Structure 1
């Protein structure tokens, strides 16, 4: 073989020495690069997890103004009054979380959906966290402030009650039927004896001393963090494992992180409740079911659901384990609204999805909004 042929062979057929020598170096470099990516992701994950747990505060997604600043709530105003138009008042849940659930995220907001479907003037009860001087407030105090809001809006509203805001709305409609033009009860526990959900069972099986002790050891308040821990423990795998896995898998997805931050700013920042109010609700509504039985006294009178005769829409979640569908839909048999003026719907999903789920906001709430606008 000539020198030229040997040279060509060295070019076209690499030496066998290059195989064991080159590939380990390439593999090592790949490991370094992958290791750097893992390290980077780990740093992002820890930083984001700390942010989600500790650094976020709830913010309403849609521009609004403060119309009233009351003791129990700030009344948020969206849009402006329109002559001849009855305003729509959204009574947000008052069960340990802020009212952000009704105005969660741009493109995923009940307030936004209402305004886009026939409601130029929408109001939201933005409930305040209870302070020690509010420990002795009762249900009546909250009904009084709801009445103040309605009077400030002209004396008549379309009332949209979400979860516990639903039974408050139903109480207002029972006590002052002429002030409610239409009523929407979404995920609202009206008949708390109906169905077989974990909240019903816990309320009925746990002695009052259990709830009284929690309030007594917290200076007369029911701390939101206690309730948050209870909700998490209902689905421990989801809250203590799946959420972290999902966060890690989407650590480089800005859209996912934006929505996750919105959710956690709401979920991880619970509000405190007046202890006396809380114990009254547990005893009289969830243990004794007085409202559904026509035995609850509100603002000096026994409240009877049969006094409600306005058009009513009942919305329930098929898999709702906070307020089972039976607790919502039972209202149909308790109010006096004619059958032709009652709408009812059970949609896929759980409790929170009724108010902030993208599917329900896209497929169901536009229909409800348009129905309200026709009343």
Structure 2
């Protein structure tokens, strides 16, 4: 029977409409079922409970589980364990192990035992952010206790809001953690560039954190995470109000499973204690006190990122409008004057900036998991052994022509290239005028919160009951859009019946149908319109914030004098730390001639490789292959590398001149040592001329020492 393109399109569009609403019905039912669980999560792995935060002296709603490897995957108990901490930012736990190609998946495929820190939807009454930090400390202690023979301390992975939590616990207990990976995590909350990053202005335009206090009071002491989810969705109205659902409607025959899988996590709204959320906005989002070491625990410990002794890996993206690179990396500029300052703290900082992936894609995207997260997991021991300094992770696809490709098990070659603070500044920084604006907004926030807590909060708390708060939570728009389309709505029963009929008579239209093409054009126009609205809104928000908080009268009113430069000073070094560094330098100078062939070879390798300004994973894998199975070898190698690096840094000429002293009495090992150094230098491709020149210099030193003995 002949039908026109219009008739074909109408039939297809009508069928897709019915099936779309049936997907919405399934989404609603999924939401109702998921939120009814005692411990809802979206982990796709089996797990074994290890430790419950509710059993701790200061109980919290967090818990530690061990992930069971799926069939065909074996973990090596001798490898350092990975601990993935999920963000408690409005959603429930599990996104770090949402699917096979995830942070948990790539860590286990690399042979590492995996643990997961999740949480229940309701907080324990009275729990605080500090209680949670100390609970996570207890969890990491437990993991380390379960793996006493592991090659290194546990690797901590903190996604989004869990990133600053991981940095806090590592600052509180620097001895506890191995490398720390913070993915899409905001750490410097005022940072950004003009024309982008409008979310950082929101707190100032709302008058500060008094509104958070009001929201917590309206929740009878609980802050509804649905408000946080709504804030995220408001950033991209085109996706929230059109693209996400239109994509389901357009591809309803194939898209429903992926959509429902993601929505299971996205709709898993959780609660926080009002005090928890207030601490977060006061100290982080508006106050921005954490990256300048202004936060102190109740037991008197100042949370200073400079105290962290583990390598810190910051992964961010230019496509992330929630945590742009400036907010993920700006803390480095807040704390350090230059790279020498980083080295003086004995710290190793590695960063990687993805060109385009969005915020959620940083820890949800399968493509990112198979590339960046897999490379971090595969090279975690190399990162742990990097000398102190600032590095960028550069990943190059492996090809048939790649030298020594057999040393690398993944599809990419990882190089960690040295960088300076100018490379971080090149991403964009605040001017001094912008810093003054944000400092003004923070002080206005404190004033408004004080006014609210003094004059309005007692009345609000008196008027709001738990029953009223529960009702307001249930009718929140972010929840209603799920429940009203579930089977609790009797109308959806008709949709279910119609969808069954449509599936048995489905007639999809051809992709070149002119009316389907017109539909796509209309969709593109709607997206452009919503994007234009977003851009106009964001530009207006920025202009309004900048003009309000640039007002000299307002700045003076809140106590910012005109000659106060900068308004947020970099925290200084304590006299104790300066004296400690001085003593360490003196100790290293005194021991510059101490050691043997091992120390001489490592010092030589560092010296030879300095012109390349990069650490190549192939060289590390070659070194490790020779020492595989030696107990404690990784930690010993790491400590020796750091010591020899600092000796070269303090006095390079003296360190090289002292090599013959290290080689004395080891004639039988010298030939083997220089052969080893030569092999490392040539691994990964033809050495540069500068490397060859230094290698020749070192060969002369070793050969002279050998001839002297003969």
Q: How far 1:331 moved relative to its partner?
A: 3.9
Contact 1:191 1:292 in 2 (8 A): yes
Q: Which residue matches 1:263? A: 262
Q: Which residue matches 1:18? A: none
Contact 2:52 2:62 in 1 (8 A): yes
Q: How far 1:37 moved relative to its partner?
A: 4.6
Select which of 336, 351, 365 maps to 1:357: 365
Tell me, in whole angstroms, the C-alpha distance in 2 between the residues paired with 1:331 and 1:291.
9
User: Do structure 1's residue 330 and structure 2's residue 300 form an aligned pair?
Assistant: no
SS of the aligned residue for 1:179 comes to: coil
Matches of residues 51-70 of structure 1 in structure 2 within 5 Å? 51-56=26-31, 57=34, 58-70=41-53
Tell me, in whole angstroms, the C-alpha distance in 2 between the residues paired with 1:187 and 1:34.
42
Q: 1:187-227: per-residue Cα shift (whole Å, max 9, x none)?
A: 11222222152332113432222111111101111112222
Q: 1:311-358: per-residue Cα shift (whole Å, max 9, x none)?
A: 221111112111121121234453776499332110022211100112
Q: Which residue matches 1:195? A: 192
SS of the aligned residue for 2:94 comes to: helix
Contact 1:316 1:346 in 2 (8 A): yes
User: Do structure 1's residue 370 and structure 2's residue 378 form an aligned pair?
Assistant: yes
Unaligned 5+ runs, structure 2: 35-40, 55-60, 70-74, 146-152, 385-710
Structure 1 runs of 4+ with >6 Å offset: none
Q: Which residue matches 1:225? A: 226
Alpha-carbon RMSD across the aligned residues, in angstroms, is: 2.5
Contact 1:317 1:349 in 2 (8 A): yes
Q: Which residue matches 1:15? A: none
Contact 1:53 1:268 in 2 (8 A): no
Contact 1:190 1:328 in 2 (8 A): yes
Unaligned 5+ runs, structure 1: 1-24
Contact 1:312 1:337 in 2 (8 A): no
Select which of 42, 66, 75 maps to 1:77: 66
Contact 2:76 2:111 in 1 (8 A): no
User: Do structure 1's residue 147 and structure 2's residue 137 form an aligned pair?
Assistant: yes
Q: 1:244-267: per-residue Cα shift (whole Å, max 9, x none)?
A: 2110111111xx322211101011
Question: Relative contact order (alpha carbons < 8 A, sep ≥ 6): 1 or 2 greater?
Answer: 1
Contact 1:64 1:79 in 2 (8 A): yes
User: Do structure 1's residue 96 and structure 2's residue 90 form an aligned pair?
Assistant: yes
Q: How far 1:35 moved relative to its partner?
A: 5.7
- How many residue pairs get aligned? The number is 344
Structure 1, 312-321 or 198-207: larger mean CA deviation: 198-207
Matches of residues 165-244 of structure 1 in structure 2 within 5 Å? 165-196=162-193, 197-206=197-206, 207-244=208-245
Q: How far 1:373 moved relative to its partner?
A: 4.0
Provide the TM-score with structure 1 as the length reference.
0.84
Tell me, in whole angstroms, the C-alpha distance in 1 between the residues paired with 2:352 and 2:81.
24
SS of the aligned residue for 1:343 comes to: strand
User: Do structure 1's residue 320 and structure 2's residue 320 form an aligned pair?
Assistant: yes
Greater percentage in strand: 1
Contact 1:97 1:271 in 2 (8 A): yes
Tell me, in whole angstroms, the C-alpha distance in 1 between the residues paired with 2:63 and 2:18.
39
Q: How far 1:69 moved relative to its partner?
A: 2.6
SS of the aligned residue for 2:98 comes to: coil
Q: How far 1:79 moved relative to its partner?
A: 4.0
Q: Structure 1 pair 337/76, CA: closer, same or farther in 2 (3 Å)?
A: farther
Q: Structure 1 pair 286/340, CA: closer, same or farther in 2 (3 Å)?
A: closer
Q: 1:164-209: per-residue Cα shift (whole Å, max 9, x none)?
A: 1111111111111110111112111222222152332113432222
SS of the aligned residue for 2:65 comes to: strand
Q: Which residue matches 2:294? A: 295
Tell me, in whole angstroms, the C-alpha distance in 1 between the residues paired with 2:342 and 2:380.
15
Q: Which residue matches 1:252? A: 253
Select which of 111, 115, 126 maps to 1:123: 115
Tell me, in whole angstroms, the C-alpha distance in 1 between the residues paired with 2:79 and 2:212.
44
Q: Which residue matches 1:7? A: none
Q: How far 1:299 moved relative to its partner?
A: 4.9
Q: How far 1:294 moved relative to its partner?
A: 1.0
Tell me, in whole angstroms, the C-alpha distance in 1 between the residues paired with 2:163 and 2:323.
11
Q: How far 1:303 moved relative to its partner?
A: 1.1
